[in-house]
């Protein structure tokens, strides 16, 4: 399961570590004064782990103690405290459960909290009776369920937000920001592996006429239809970007010039053969450029654009690629 709070983990840990340590320290000292030595040791251990990690975060250093190690003293303290303190000790299991969901990933937190329910339920059964134990276990399970629902909502919103930042809202193709990142990564992969990678620069022919004569709604529908046709032909590993207006780029990983020409021609034929607009043929022109080992991202893009320009010069509705 994804750790959806990973990007905010340090801020969460820093606040919770200082607050938790400072709040628990008086209870730890009181347990020693009251003669509850084992409980005092467990509570003090939790404080020390939180203090140590909070100080490391303050110094901008890696955590010296994984917060997964909070589990043994937390569980041990609850198991010891419930027979002595009853319901007052059970109350600590609720913030402990929520703490695990904030400081651990969802899988670790779920496993730890299931164990927490078992330990707390077992201690409560022998100390508080079966009726109260059922209530405690039920409310603990509900707390865990609510945390899961909350994190699920966050994950869904996070996914939608990430998608919005990298995709064009009209067509669903990746946007220009993602295009720059994707092309740079493709260059790095090609340099590392030596595998070929090619770029298709695509432009809708006479698109301005569609907007002027039929309106922008027709233009928008045309763009969405063309993107849908592209996606139906491309592989999952191929990346489709909207470079701007009616211009698109297709990144073809592990594909040389000859393979890119085949894909480009297939896309051109696919668009030309579909009745996208009533009574009007929609076509595209395509420029093909395989990455050369010594060129930058801008040089690669410029070559693809020059090939596209040449395809338009030759009459549009065609594919053009430089000879290797």
Catalytic residues: 246
Closest-CA residue to 76 (of 47, 111, 41): 41
Q: Give Cβ neighbours of residue 136 (< 8 Å, ≥ 6 apart).
A: 90, 93, 120, 121, 124, 128
The neighbour count for residue 296, using CB atoms within 10 Å, is 11
Alpha-carbon dihedral angle through residues 225, 228, 232, 238, given to the nearest 10 degrees:
130
Burial class (CB in 10 A: 0-12, 13-18, 19+), 306: middle
* Residues 245, 10: Cα–Cα separation, whole Å: 41
* Residues 274, 216: Cα–Cα separation, whole Å: 20
* Residues 207, 204: Cα–Cα separation, whole Å: 6
Closest-CA residue to 196 (of 259, 267, 283, 106): 259
């Amino acid at each position: 399961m994804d750790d959806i709070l990973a990007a905010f983990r340090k801020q969460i840990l820093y606040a919770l570590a200082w607050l938790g340590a400072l709040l628990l320290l008086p209870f730890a000292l009181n347990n020693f004064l009251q003669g509850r030595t084992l409980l005092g040791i467990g509570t003090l251990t939790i404080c020390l782990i939180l203090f140590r990690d909070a100080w490391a975060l303050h110094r901008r250093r890696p955590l010296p103690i994984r917060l997964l190690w909070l589990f043994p003293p937390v569980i041990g303290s609850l198991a010891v405290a419930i027979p002595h303190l009853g319901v007052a000790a059970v109350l600590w299991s609720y913030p402990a459960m929520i703490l695990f969901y904030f400081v651990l990933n969802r899988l670790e937190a779920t496993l730890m909290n299931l164990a927490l329910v078992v330990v707390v339920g077992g201690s409560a059964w022998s100390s508080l009776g079966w009726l109260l134990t059922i209530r405690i276990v039920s409310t603990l399970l509900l707390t865990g369920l609510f945390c899961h629902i909350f994190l699920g909502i966050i994950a869904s919103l996070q996914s939608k937000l990430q998608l919005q930042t990298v995709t064009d809202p009209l067509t669903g193709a990746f946007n220009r920001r993602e295009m720059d990142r994707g092309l740079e990564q493709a260059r790095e992969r090609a340099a590392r592996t030596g595998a070929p990678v090619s770029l298709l620069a695509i432009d809708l022919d006479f698109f301005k006429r569609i907007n002027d004569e039929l309106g922008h709604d027709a233009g928008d529908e045309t763009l969405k239809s063309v993107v849908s046709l592209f996606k139906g032909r491309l592989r999952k590993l191929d990346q489709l970007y909207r470079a701007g207006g009616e211009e698109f780029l297709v990144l073809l990983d592990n594909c040389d010039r000859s393979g890119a020409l085949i894909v480009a021609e297939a896309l051109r034929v696919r668009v030309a053969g579909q009745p996208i607009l009533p009574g009007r043929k929609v076509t595209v022109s395509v420029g093909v450029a395989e990455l050369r080992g010594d060129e930058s991202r801008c040089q690669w893009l410029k070559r693809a654009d020059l090939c596209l320009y040449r395809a338009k010069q030759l009459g549009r509705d065609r594919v053009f690629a430089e000879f290797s």
